[in-house]
Amino acid sequence: MKLLMYRLAKVLCLVASTGSASRAQLKYEVRQLTSGPAHHFYGYIGHVGNSPYNADGKYLIALRTTFQDHMPTPGDAADIVLLDAGNGYAETKLTETRGWNPQQGAMMYWNPEKPSRQFFFNDRDPSTNKVFTALYDIFERKRVREFHFDDRPAANGGVRQDGGAFTEINYARMARLRPVTGYPGAWDWTVGVNDPLDDGLFVVDAATGTRKLIASFKQMRDALVATHPTIVDKALFLNHTLWNREGDRIFFFVRANFDDPKTRINVPMTVKPDGSELTEQRVFIGGHPEWDFKSRMLGAVEKKLILYDAVAQQIVETIGGPEVFRDPEGDTALSRDGKWIVNGATTGATMHYTIVRRTDRASFHTADFSRGTYTGGDLRIDPAPCWNRDGDRFAFPALAKDGTRQMFEVRVLER
């Protein structure tokens, strides 16, 4: 089957749209990396350096499940498997997790301090339903550390890009307030409290295992009530806690009533890792922004992909509009070297990708990929592209011809 997938790989040549005199030609190759009957996926957008590929590109990590037609219950474990890129992506089961969902997976992140061999992932204790984060070593074939905080159990929301720390958020609260982002049935100490003082955005020191609440929901409400007065009686939750490349700023969304457009709270904020400079971002740059370098971010405003300065709170550059991107507010990821942008967009049952080379704005579109009937709700398939470390390929989820959810790869051949 793996050999067949290689033989079926497609190589396409497209003329890149660029203003330069010599119009570059960019080729790309598509491969299906995993196959059924089980489903395989990574589960999260490749922004802020997140990727299923380890540092040397020899291995990828993925979740493997036997179903895709319902949200996982506390008893539904997913396998975490290692894919061997040098051996036809042969898979080996490493461990299991009960802290996952179809949209965001188990929030797996390679450890920046040992990016060839260790990764973080979320799990839950089956006896208590309390969530926690684990660190796994693929060479030792075991969990080398678990981060438990039993009084206020939370789990990884994003790893600092240069290592040493990660954010934690309350996935049980998220499961109550927006199920697609949480772990159904997880133990929640905040039931009935709209803006608790003892929950919010945590930062964990990966070396010592100590944790600090750097911004509580109460602090967030107090900081936002003047500009968002309806926030006072709403149950708040967090999502997308994104570290910038330099590790000195965290972007996140404060949300409430998310499924009701009329009463929704969806406010972007930034904060420093020590809890200082908790700041509302007055310019909304879409639901899936990405950090560029320093205080700049990629985002979408008025159907254009833009570059935004989160300190100055102003748009500093326009990258492209509908003439380049089908949906600038789709899932966007920046390669680790900052030279390549990939934007994933959906249209009904299909999705495709736009790749932009930043040096000359050359761009091309891929073919369409299927997401079948999984177009919305808790079980949807998002484009979720994830670059490898070298920035020459990205992985993404899609439906295979047999209807199973699998991992695919686009490789940019001429760069």
Alpha-helical segments (H) within 158-214: 171-177
- How many residues belong to the chain? 415
Angstrom CA distances, 303 to 161, 340, 360, stand at 29, 20, 21
- Going by C-beta distance under 8 Å and a sequence separation of 6 or more, which residues neighbour residue 121? 80, 97, 99, 106, 107, 108, 109, 133, 134, 136, 156
Sign of CA dihedral 272, 274, 279, 284: positive
Domain total of the chain = 1
pLDDT tens digits in sequence order for the chain, 415 residues long: 444 444 345 545 444 444 443 345 678 999 999 999 999 999 989 999 999 999 999 999 999 999 999 999 999 999 999 999 999 999 999 999 999 999 999 999 999 999 999 999 999 999 999 999 999 999 999 999 999 999 999 999 999 999 999 999 999 999 999 999 999 999 999 999 999 999 999 999 999 999 999 999 999 999 999 999 999 999 999 999 999 999 999 999 999 999 899 999 999 999 999 999 999 999 999 999 999 999 999 999 999 999 999 999 999 999 999 999 999 999 999 999 999 999 999 999 999 999 999 999 999 999 999 999 999 999 999 999 999 999 999 999 999 999 999 999 999 987 6
Whether the CB-CB separation of 381 and 406 falls below 8 Å is answered with: no
CATH number for 156: 2.130.10.10
pLDDT of residue 415: 62
pLDDT of residue 20: 40
Could you tell me the two tokens for 71? 């949200």
Alpha-helical segments (H) within 151-259: 171-177, 217-224
pLDDT of residue 4: 41
**What pTM value is reported for the model?**
0.94
Could you tell me the two tokens for 262? 């009329």
In three-state secondary structure terms, 321 is: coil
Residue 358 lies in domain: 2-412
- Going by C-beta distance under 8 Å and a sequence separation of 6 or more, which residues neighbour residue 167? 156, 157, 158, 201, 202, 203, 204, 241, 243, 250, 252
Whether the CB-CB separation of 62 and 42 falls below 8 Å is answered with: yes
